[in-house]
Structure 1
Amino acid sequence: MIPPGETIGILGGGQLGRMLALAAANLGYRCHVYAPEADSVAADVSAAFTQGHYDDQAALAAFAAQCAVVTYEFENVAAGPLAAIGEHAPLHPPVRALEVAQDRVNEKSFVEALGGRPAPWAQVDSAADLAAAIARIGAPGILKTRRDGYDGKGQWRIMEPADAARLDLPAVPLIYEGFVRFEGEFSVILVRDAAGDVRFWDSARNEHESGILARSTVPAPAFIAAQVEAARALAANVADALDYVGVLTLEFFATADGPVFNEMAPRVHNSGHWTIEGALVSQFENHIRAICALPLGSTALAAQGAVMDNLIGDAACDWAQILSDPANHLHLYGKAAVRPGRKMGHVTRLIL
């Protein structure tokens, strides 16, 4: 058990790290952020900050030596250099979770081996591979980078086979996925401690715009709720297979044939931001509890439900109007520059 007063290291300087640091501070911990960018909204609310590259093993080792435990808020970090951290402080979630989640081929193969059902997919390393994948899986489909894509980045829709011929394929490993006909999207968010105790938050219905999460709503409608049990079983199997410690998220499509796995995130997740006000203990606090080996808190709803809307781009400029409604819980992330498609904050309303 890591007692309050110790320092928690956070790899990544974005809003997820910011909210982890705020939750840690409420429990009496100091946080030390490590990120390559000089401008870090997580560092703004933390006790210490190290600017360094994720592949700088000497800097990572020096950072870890100042921490009692290290976690991460950003999964697109090369797994190899993180061995330098393990020599000085425990790292949670484990490196194996990164290795699986940051490569879509590894991720889908791993989930299939545990009985999960992803969309039909094929590895693509050349134009010939893409043509063969479309011939086998069909179109429409989505061509994605195997690594680093998020919020709709690194993706190309292929509506018909001729679209593939017009693409200038990037010189990176790719994956082709067939379209899934779905009625809705939802996420399963769990927390697991080192002893294997697993707890789930209510699953939210997620609505996306331009590939970016726009709204999460709990409770989810009945057609999603009927598929949550099966999705939770898979998520628990994934967590157990990885010997996972911390918060883990799996995203699903709700289809006429049951849940279809979309992707996993080995970290706290945007679709769980509603838990700050809407659950008895938030995803951020329970992540801190898990990595510090504290007793896990209740994931039960604190109200009848909640609606969380992301504030994307200049939507955050309406902060005064948002605050004019006393029922709104506003979270601004402290980002200096407003850009289209950039997550600037979120607002949550409880259903009482």
Structure 2
Amino acid sequence: MSLEPGSTIGIVGAGQLGRMLAQAAAQLGYRTHVYAPDPAPPASGPASLYVCADYLNADAMAAFAAECDVVTYEFENLPVEALEAMGDKLRPSTRSLAIAQDRAHEKRFIEEHGGKVANWHEVSEAADLEAAGEKIGYPLVLKSRRLGYDGKGQAWVREADQLMDAWDAIGREPAVAEAAVDYIAEFSVLVARRADDELAVWNAPRNIHDGGILRRSEVPAGEGVDEQVPQAVEVACELAMKLGHVGVMAVEFFATADGPLVNEIAPRVHNSGHWTIEGSQTSQFEQHIRCIADLPLGDPALVSPRVTMDNLIGHDVDRWEQILAEPGAHLHLYGKREARAGRKMGHVTRLG
């Protein structure tokens, strides 16, 4: 049953993704309540109400959910147990979170449902490191199983005598070791699913990273990627269906000589889909609201033959006046007060 305009949508997490979700919800006539432990976060601006409380405060989480008609989340590093108290109000469910939060569970899930991943080995203790090197070869990358994003919790290993140093670098946390991938490019597929299995998929962007942080997304993805997109879309849609995911989900891929390899799943709106705000008929943020409110899905088609999105990282944001003076540039600033190295301060989208 569709959520009536004027209803309240809860958003757990209050960063820039929550901010843009709140803006999309307001456009469709909804109120938004936002929950996070941070003082004056980006999403508190457009929200109708901001609740500042800890994610582990079960009583506060339950009280928050009681004031909302439906609740969603803007990032995956959240306590599953606390969110489970929200029951059917939470969309997508904690199943998507639980799998995406653990790289080993995620890789098994992908392989079980038709996706291919880089050769990998689970690392729980020191003895597993040597076994990983023997199975995978070098170079390999060691990634913590949980709480990794934007290149955090990762360490490269070029030869065997670096294994222990790499494990020390990630805090000797449970990890996965992955073979280095000889890839043509990185790209992502964003898929939206309603509870009745209706799906919508956007054009796949080519993604350019620097230091583990997304710098640019380009649509169309271009040579070397476009021909692999249909297979990747099949995989992404299958994963969304098997998860029973309600909302937008991003699946990141490597385009390789042997076809697309899944890098990881993000069970939420995603940085590589920011271009959809101006670049498609329906943005990823509006589509996510449509999914969780059980509304008809919008058209994801392009409005321009070419779209690029550049993140403004750290002091890149100091160019905001120059960008505003540029014809055809669409500037989005996230309202963060302090520019720091590696911090996403905004983005700019260009059409044509």
**TM-score above 0.5:** yes
Identity %: 53
Range moving further from structure 2, 36-45 or 206-215: 36-45
Secondary structure at 2:45 match in 1: helix
Matched with 1:196 is 197
Q: Which runs of 5+ in 2 are unaligned?
A: none
Amino acid aligned to 2:27 = N
CA offsets per residue over residues 6-55 of structure 1, 9 Å max, x none? 11000001000000000000001110001111231101110001112222
Residue 58 of structure 1 deviates from its aligned partner by 0.8
Q: In the TM superposition, what is the alpha-carbon distance from 1:222 to its structure 2 partner?
A: 2.7
CA deviations on 1:55-88 (whole Å, 9 max, x unpaired) are 22111110000000000001000111112211xx
Provide the residue aligned with 1:265 in structure 2.
266
Partner-residue secondary structure (3-state), 1:207: strand
Supply the distance in 1 between the matched residues of 2:165 and 2:229 (Cα, whole angstroms). 40
Please tell me the root mean square deviation across aligned C-alpha atoms, in Å. 0.9
Report the equivalent of 1:80.
81
What is the one-letter code of the residue matched to 1:290?
C
Give per-residue Cα distances to partners, 1:230-283, cap 9 Å, x unaligned: 111111111111111100100000000000010000000000000000000000
Partner of 2:153: 154
> Matched residues in 2 for 1:35 and 1:126: separation?
34
Partner Cα separation in structure 2 for residue 173 and residue 128 of structure 1: 12
Q: One-letter code of the match for 2:327?
A: P
Alignment check: 8 A CA contact 1:58 1:84 kept: no
TM-aligned CA deviation for residue 171 of structure 1: 3.7
What is the match of residue 122 of structure 1? Answer: 121
**Unaligned 5+ residue runs, structure 1?**
none
Distance 2:303 2:179 in 1: 39
1-side partners of 2:28 and 2:110: how far apart? 34
Q: Distance in 2 between matches of 1:78 and 1:238?
A: 22
Deviation at residue 326 of structure 1 after TM alignment: 1.9
After TM superposition, the structure 1 = structure 2 runs for residues 193-342 of structure 1, keeping only pairs within 5 Å, are 193-342=194-343
Q: TM-score, normalised by structure 1?
A: 0.98
What secondary structure, in the 3-state scheme, does the structure 2 residue paired with 1:183 have?
A: strand
Q: CA deviation at 1:165?
A: 3.5
Q: Letter of the aligned partner of 2:122 in structure 1?
A: Q
Q: Which residue of 2 aligns with 1:187?
A: 188
* 289-298 or 46-55, which deviates more: 46-55
Contact residue 253 and residue 260 of structure 1 kept, 8 A: yes
Task: Give the SS at the match of 1:25.
Answer: helix
Distance 1:4 1:83 in 2: 26
Helix, strand or coil for the counterpart of 2:291?
helix
Distance 1:266 1:99 in 2: 10
1:188, distance to aligned residue in structure 2 (A): 0.3
SS of corresponding position for 1:227 = helix
Match of 1:45 in 2: 46
- CA distance in 2 between partners of 1:246 and 1:294 (Å): 11
| CA distance in structure 1 between the aligned counterparts of 2:328 and 2:15, rounded to whole angstroms | 26
- Contact 1:190-1:198 at 8 Å conserved across structures: yes
Give distance in 1, aligned partners of 2:327 and 2:32: 31
Tell whether 2:82 aligns with 1:56.
no
Secondary structure at the counterpart of residue 177 of structure 1: strand
> Alpha-carbon deviation of 1:162?
1.5
In structure 2, distance between residues paired with 1:91 and 1:343:
27
- Partner amino acid for 1:121? W
Q: How many residues align?
A: 349
User: Which stretch has the larger CA shift, 276-285 or 167-176?
Assistant: 167-176
**Does the residue aligned with 1:166 lie in a helix, a strand or coil?**
helix
Deviating 4+ runs (over 3 angstroms): none
